[in-house]
Amino acid sequence: MIPITIDGQPVEGKEGENILQVALDAGFDIPHLCYNENVKPYGACRLCLVEVVRRGRSRMTTACTYPVMEGIEVLTQSEKVLRARRMIMELILAMCPGDKLIQDMAKQMGVEQVRFKKDDNKDCILCGLCARVCDEVVGAHAISFAFRGDRREMVPPFLGEAMNCIACGACVVVCPVDVIRMKEEGDERTIIRWKRTLKMKQCKVCGNYFAPWFQLEKFKERAKLPKDFFDVCFTCRG
């Protein structure tokens, strides 16, 4: 175990863990949007900024990308940290002014007004969670960031249909601002943002459409399952 202090309290972390993980487990409240414990930390949203004092030197860094190291002191509520977080929150709120979660977080951090032009036609906050889940958890590699600077976008390849997408909906679940939508109509499931529509398979027992064919084929292939494994839906299989 690696001993560190967070806001003066002694805490222990494990080798390979990052500060955010340890702090959240220990009950500290650090705002974050692009972090999810199931994927590798990325450090895009910059909300989990903390001050880290190591060998007498203090610097601001994102807690999610900083590995726990013996003897570091972490300050999660210093004046500097709160000041920086507030401006970042304001910047995010300007990008995504209509989202409830963002509005609530901003309010909690004392961000009352947005001093920038609001991006009414943008919604995504470019946290990259959808692509990381798709790559690291699902393994479909269906989407990625394209372009750089202020033109950065999360898109399917060549801005067309995401041909690798299995319409599993993991991105839909993980998106913090809820801008990736899925709809099911008849025997079709669509992930609207990735322009991906797939035909669904019908359960031999109950007759419900339960998952896209393409997805089930991928699963069978990956897990080397018998041909008829997905003939029956998850519910009817008992």
For the beta carbon of residue 86, count every other beta carbon within 10 angstroms.
14
Minimum Å gap between C-beta 195 and another protein is 22
Q: Which residues bind another protein (CB under 8 A)?
A: 42-47, 49, 60-62, 65-67, 80, 83-84, 87-88, 91-92, 94-95, 115-117, 125-126, 128, 145, 147-152
Q: Taking the complex as a whole, how short is the minimal distance between the CB of residue 60 and another protein, in angstroms?
A: 5
- Minimum distance from residue 84 beta carbon to another protein (Å): 5
Nearer to another protein, 127 or 167 (CB): 127
- What sign has the CA pseudo-torsion 109, 112, 115, 121? positive
CB of 197 to another protein, least distance (A): 28
Rounded-to-integer distance, Cα 61 and Cα 237, Å: 49
Size of the chain in residues: 238
Closest CB to another protein among 46 and 201?
46
Cα angle, residue 99 at apex, residues 96 and 104 outer, rounded to 5°: 110
Nearer to another protein, 64 or 211 (CB): 64
> Could you count the other beta carbons within 10 Å of the beta carbon of residue 43?
18
For tokens 């079709």, the residue is 188
- In Å, how far from its chain's centre is CA 235? 28
Closer CB to another protein, residue 63 or residue 162? 63
Cβ–Cβ under 8 Å, residues 196 and 162: yes
Q: How far is the CB of 147 from another protein (least distance, A)?
A: 7
Q: Is 232 strand, coil or helix?
A: coil
Toward another protein, which CB reaches closer, 21 or 215?
A: 21
